[in-house]
Amino acid sequence: MNTILSFAIAVTLLTSAVIIVRFGRMVLRGNDPLPLAAFMAILFTSGLDVGLIMFPLTEFPVYEAESVYGFTNPLAIEFGFWGFLVWAFYFLTTFYFCVVEPRLKLFEIGWVKLVNSAVIIATCAFTGFLFLSYLPTYIVGISEPLRYGLVALVVLLAVLSSTDIRYVKWLGLGSTALFLSLIGLMWIMSGMGLPGLVSSAANIGGYFTNIRKFISPLSDYHAFYLFWWFAWSIMIGQFVARFVGGLKVWQLLIALLVIPSIPIALWFSVLFYYHSQSIDLFSIQRIFMITVGIIFVVNSLDSLTRLYSENLNLTVARLGGPGYVATHWVLLFGLILLYQFTPLKIEWIGLVVIGIYGCIYALTFIQRASLLAAYTKEASA
pLDDT of residue 381: 52
pLDDT of residue 95: 95
pLDDT of residue 165: 77
What percent of the chain is modeled with pLDDT above 90?
57
User: What CA–CA distances, in Å, run from 353 to 81, 125, 222, 294, 362?
Assistant: 19, 16, 18, 26, 14
| Strand, coil or helix: 261 | helix
Give the C-alpha separation, 244 to 40, whole Å: 9
pLDDT class for 123, splitting at 50, 70, 90? confident
How confident is the model over 26-34, as a mean pLDDT?
A: 91
pLDDT of residue 366: 83
pLDDT of residue 378: 59
pLDDT of residue 375: 64
Answer yes or no: is pLDDT of 155 > 90: yes
122-150 burial, b at 16+ Cβ within 10 Å, e below that, comes to bbbbbbbbbbbebbeebeeeeeeeebeeb
Q: Where are the domains of the chain?
A: 28-376
Burial degree of 37 (CB within 10 A; 0-12, 13-18, 19+): exposed
Contact 54, 137 (CB under 8 A): yes
**DSSP-derived secondary structure for 65-80:** H-GGGTTS-HHHHHHH
Provide long-range contacts, Cβ within 8 A and 24+ apart, for 174-180.
174/295, 175/41, 175/45, 175/292, 175/295, 175/296, 175/298, 175/299, 176/41, 176/44, 176/45, 178/291, 178/292, 178/295, 179/45, 179/263, 179/267, 179/292, 179/296, 180/263
Q: What digits encode the pLDDT tens for the residues 44-56?
A: 887 777 788 888 9
pLDDT of residue 376: 65
Contact 49, 228 (CB under 8 A): no
Answer yes or no: is pLDDT of 173 > 90: no
pLDDT class for 374, splitting at 50, 70, 90? low
Ranking 70-84, 110-124, 265-279 by mean pLDDT, the lowest is 110-124
Q: What digits encode the pLDDT tens for the residues 130-144?
A: 888 888 877 878 899
Give the C-alpha separation, 330 to 314, whole Å: 13
Angle at 67 between CA 61 and CA 70, to 5 degrees: 80
